[in-house]
Amino acid sequence: MSTTELTPKDLKSNQEVRWCPGCGDYSILNSVQAVMADIGVAKENMVIISGIGCSSRFPYYMDTYGFHGIHGRALAIATGTKTANRDLSVWVVTGDGDCMSIGGNHFIHTLRRNVDLKILMFNNRIYGLTKGQYSPTTPMGQITKTSPYGAVDAPFNPLNLALGSGATFVARTMDTQPKHMKKVLQQAADHKGTAFVEIWQNCVIFNDGAFKDMTTKEVRDDRTIDLVPGEPLIFGTGGSKGLKVDYLDAKVVGPDEATVWKCDTDSPVPAFLMSQLDDEPDLPTAVGIFRCVDRPVYDEQVSDQIAAITAKKGPGTLKDLIYTKDAWTVD
Amino acid sequence: MTTDVIRQDDVVIRFAGDSGDGMQITGNQFTDTTAKVGNDLATFPDFPSEIRAPAGTRAGVSGFQIHFSSSEIFTPGDGPDVLVAMNPAALAVNIADLRPGGIVIVNTGSFTDKDLAKAKVDVNPLEDGSLKAFRVIKIDINARVIQALEDSTLTKKDVLRCKNFYTLGLMYWLFSRPMEPTLEWLAAKFENKPELIDANQKALKAGYNAGEIHEYFQGRFEVAPQQHTPKGTYRNIMGNEGLSIGLAVGAHLAGLEALLGSYPITPATDILQYLAKMKNHGVITMQMEDEIAGICSAIGGAYAGKLAITTTSGPGMALKSEALGLAVMVELPLVVVNVQRAGPSTGMPTKVEQSDLFQSVYGRNSEAPIPVIACSSPADTFACAVEACRIAVEYMTPVILLSDNYIANGSEPWKLPTMDELKPFPVKRPSAGAEPFMPYSRDEKLARPWAIPGQPGLEHRIGGLEKEDLTGYASHDADNHQKMSEYRRDKVLGVRDSIPTPQPHGADHGLLMVGWGSTFGAIRSAVEALRKDDVQVAHLHLRHIWPFPKGLDEIFARYDQILVPELNLGQLSKILQSEYPDHRFKEYDKMKGKPFTAFELREKITTMMEVAS
pLDDT in tens, B447-477: 999 999 999 999 999 999 999 999 999 999 9
pLDDT at B375 over 90: yes
Q: Do A44 and B459 touch (CB under 8 A)?
A: yes
Output the CA–CA distances (angstroms, integers) from residue B460 to A55, A91, B206, B300, B396, in the order listed. 18, 15, 70, 15, 17
pLDDT in tens, A108-121: 999 999 999 999 99
Question: What is the model's pLDDT at position B51?
Answer: 64
CA atoms of B198 and B354, how far apart (whole Å): 44
In this prediction, residues B185-194 reach a mean pLDDT of 95
CA atoms of B90 and B64, how far apart (whole Å): 11
User: With contact defined as beta carbons under 8 Å apart, do A103 and A136 qualify?
Assistant: no
pLDDT at B183 over 50: yes
Nearest Cβ partner for A78 among B229, B300, B458: B300
A50 secondary structure, DSSP code: E
Report cis status (omega within 30 of 0) of the bond before B547: yes
Structural domain boundaries of chain A? 8-210
Residue range(s) defining the domain that contains residue B79: 4-223
The answer on B512 and B556 residing in a single domain is: yes
Alpha helices in B223-289 (DSSP H): 239-254, 269-276
Nearest Cα to B119, choosing from B91, B161, B82?
B91
The answer to whether residue B99 sits within a structural domain is yes
Output the CA–CA distances (angstroms, integers) from residue A197 to A92, A291, B73, in the order listed. 10, 11, 62
Reported as type and span, the H/E element at residue A70 is none
Question: What is the model's pLDDT at position A1?
Answer: 46
**Residues of chain A neighbouring B292 (CB-CB closer than 8 A):** 73, 76
The answer on B257 and B382 residing in a single domain is: yes
The answer on B589 and B475 residing in a single domain is: no
The answer to whether residue B229 sits within a structural domain is no
In this prediction, residues B58-82 reach a mean pLDDT of 93
Inter-axis angle of helices B194-214 and B141-148, nearest 10: 120
Q: Do A81 and B422 touch (CB under 8 A)?
A: no
- Type of residue at B560: D
Q: Do A67 and B323 touch (CB under 8 A)?
A: no
Contacting residues for B259 by C-beta, under 8 A, at least 6 apart: A80, A83, A84, B283, B284, B285, B286, B297, B298, B301, B302, B306, B307, B308, B309
Question: What is the model's pLDDT at position A31?
Answer: 97
Output the CA–CA distances (angstroms, integers) from residue A110 to A76, A275, B81, B147, B444, in the order listed. 8, 20, 54, 57, 40
Q: Do A109 and B455 touch (CB under 8 A)?
A: no
In this prediction, residues A301-311 reach a mean pLDDT of 98
Nearest Cβ partner for A327 among B230, B234, B464: B234
Pairing mode of beta strands A285-292, A224-227? parallel
Q: Which residues pair with B41 in a beta bridge?
A: B68
Q: Looking at chain A, which residue has its C-alpha nearest residue B250? A: A318
Q: How distant is the Cα of A59 from the closest Cα of chain B, in angstroms?
A: 7
User: With contact defined as beta carbons under 8 Å apart, do A149 and A156 qualify?
Assistant: no
Q: How distant is the Cα of A306 from the closest Cα of chain B, in angstroms?
A: 5
Question: What is the model's pLDDT at position B2?
Answer: 57
Nearest Cβ partner for B304 among A63, A84, A324: A84
**Residues of chain A neighbouring B255 (CB-CB closer than 8 A):** none
Question: What is the model's pLDDT at position B19?
Answer: 85
Q: Do B252 and A318 touch (CB under 8 A)?
A: yes
Question: What is the model's pLDDT at position B50?
Answer: 65
Contacting residues for A272 by C-beta, under 8 A, at least 6 apart: A160, A163
Q: Do A68 and B462 touch (CB under 8 A)?
A: yes
Question: What is the model's pLDDT at position B228?
Answer: 81
For residue B45, give the CATH number of its domain: 3.40.920.10
> Chain B contact for A70, CB < 8 A?
yes
> Chain B contact for A42, CB < 8 A?
yes
pLDDT at A3 over 70: no
**Residues of chain B neighbouring A43 (CB-CB closer than 8 A):** 456, 459
**Residues of chain B neighbouring A329 (CB-CB closer than 8 A):** 232-234
Nearest Cα to B537, choosing from B518, B516, B517, B565?
B565
Answer with the one of B497, B520, B540 that is the final residue of a domain. Answer: B497
Strands (E), B70-114: 82-85, 103-107
Pairing mode of beta strands B40-46, B4-8? unpaired
Question: What is the model's pLDDT at position B229?
Answer: 83
The answer on B587 and B483 residing in a single domain is: no
Q: How distant is the Cα of B34 from the closest Cα of chain A, in angstroms?
A: 12
pLDDT in tens, A72-93: 999 999 999 999 999 999 999 9
Q: Which of A8-17, B8-17, B214-223, B582-591 has the lowest mean pLDDT?
A: B214-223
In this prediction, residues A32-42 reach a mean pLDDT of 97
CA atoms of B375 and B387, how far apart (whole Å): 10
Question: What is the model's pLDDT at position B217?
Answer: 84
Q: Do A105 and B293 touch (CB under 8 A)?
A: yes
In this prediction, residues B39-60 reach a mean pLDDT of 84
Which architecture does CATH list for A8-210?
A: 3-Layer(aba) Sandwich (3.40)
> Chain B contact for A313, CB < 8 A?
yes
Q: Looking at chain A, which residue has its C-alpha nearest residue B36? A: A328
**Residues of chain A neighbouring B234 (CB-CB closer than 8 A):** 327-330
pLDDT in tens, B389-433: 999 999 999 999 999 999 999 999 999 999 999 999 999 999 999
pLDDT in tens, A140-168: 999 999 999 999 999 999 999 999 999 99
C-alpha A293 chain-centroid distance: 15
**Residues of chain B neighbouring A330 (CB-CB closer than 8 A):** 38, 229-234
Q: What percent of chain A has pLDDT over 70?
A: 99
The answer on B283 and B185 residing in a single domain is: no
Q: Do B300 and A87 touch (CB under 8 A)?
A: no
**Residues of chain B neighbouring A325 (CB-CB closer than 8 A):** none
Q: Do A106 and B279 touch (CB under 8 A)?
A: no
Question: What is the model's pLDDT at position B478?
Answer: 98
> Chain B contact for A81, CB < 8 A?
yes
The question of ipTM being above 0.85 is answered as yes
Answer with the one of B497, B528, B554 that is the final residue of a domain. Answer: B497
Answer with the one of B223, B254, B282 that is the final residue of a domain. Answer: B223
Question: Phi and psi (nearest 5°) for A244?
Answer: -110, 125
pLDDT at B273 over 50: yes
Q: Do B289 and A109 touch (CB under 8 A)?
A: yes
Q: How distant is the Cα of A160 from the closest Cα of chain B, in angstroms?
A: 20
Nearest Cβ partner for B457 among A1, A52, A105: A1
**Residues of chain B neighbouring A324 (CB-CB closer than 8 A):** 235
Q: Do B235 and A324 touch (CB under 8 A)?
A: yes
Q: Count A/B contacts: CB-CB distance under 8 Å.
A: 202
How many CB atoms neighbour CB B499 within 10 A?
A: 18
pLDDT in tens, B227-243: 888 899 999 999 999 99
The answer on B270 and B137 residing in a single domain is: no
Q: What is the mean pLDDT of chain B?
A: 95
**Residues of chain A neighbouring B465 (CB-CB closer than 8 A):** 68
**Residues of chain B neighbouring A58 (CB-CB closer than 8 A):** none
Question: What is the model's pLDDT at position A326?
Answer: 85
Contacting residues for B553 by C-beta, under 8 A, at least 6 apart: B580, B582, B583
Nearest Cα to B375, choosing from B367, B383, B365?
B383
Q: Looking at chain B, which residue has its C-alpha nearest residue A300? A: B284
Q: How distant is the Cα of A147 from the closest Cα of chain B, in angstroms?
A: 28
The answer on B351 and B479 residing in a single domain is: yes
Q: Looking at chain A, which residue has its C-alpha nearest residue B303? A: A81
pLDDT at B613 over 80: no
Sheet holding B135-139, edge to edge: A328-330, B232-238, B411-415, B40-46, B61-69, B10-18, B82-85, B103-107, B135-139
Q: Do A76 and B297 touch (CB under 8 A)?
A: yes
For residue B244, give the CATH number of its domain: 3.40.50.970
User: With contact defined as beta carbons under 8 Å apart, do A265 and A229 qualify?
Assistant: no
CA atoms of A306 and A297, how far apart (whole Å): 14
Q: How distant is the Cα of A223 from the closest Cα of chain B, in angstroms?
A: 39
In this prediction, residues B324-349 reach a mean pLDDT of 97
Q: Look up the pTM and report it.
A: 0.94
pLDDT at B1 over 70: no
Sheet holding B284-287, edge to edge: B284-287, B258-262, B307-312, B334-340, B398-404, B372-374, B544-546
CA atoms of B262 and B288, how far apart (whole Å): 6
Burial B352-371 (b: 16+ CB within 10 A, else e): bbbbbbebbbebbeeebbbb
Q: Do A313 and B289 touch (CB under 8 A)?
A: no
pLDDT in tens, B471-513: 999 999 999 999 999 999 999 999 999 999 999 999 999 999 9
**Residues of chain A neighbouring B282 (CB-CB closer than 8 A):** 306, 310, 315-316
Rg (CA), chain B: 27
DSSP-based three-state secondary structure for B590: coil
For residue B531, give the CATH number of its domain: 3.40.50.920
Suggest the residue from B227, B253, B281, B412 to mutate for an interface test with chain A (most A CBs closer than 10 A). B281
In this prediction, residues B352-357 reach a mean pLDDT of 97
Pairing mode of beta strands B258-262, B232-238? unpaired
The answer on B449 and B342 residing in a single domain is: yes
Q: How distant is the Cα of A318 from the closest Cα of chain B, in angstroms?
A: 6
pLDDT in tens, B14-39: 999 998 899 999 999 999 999 989 99
Question: What is the model's pLDDT at position A4?
Answer: 65
Nearest Cβ partner for B234 among A15, A66, A328: A328
**Residues of chain A neighbouring B452 (CB-CB closer than 8 A):** 85
Output the CA–CA distances (angstroms, integers) from residue B383 to A112, B43, B233, in the order listed. 38, 20, 16
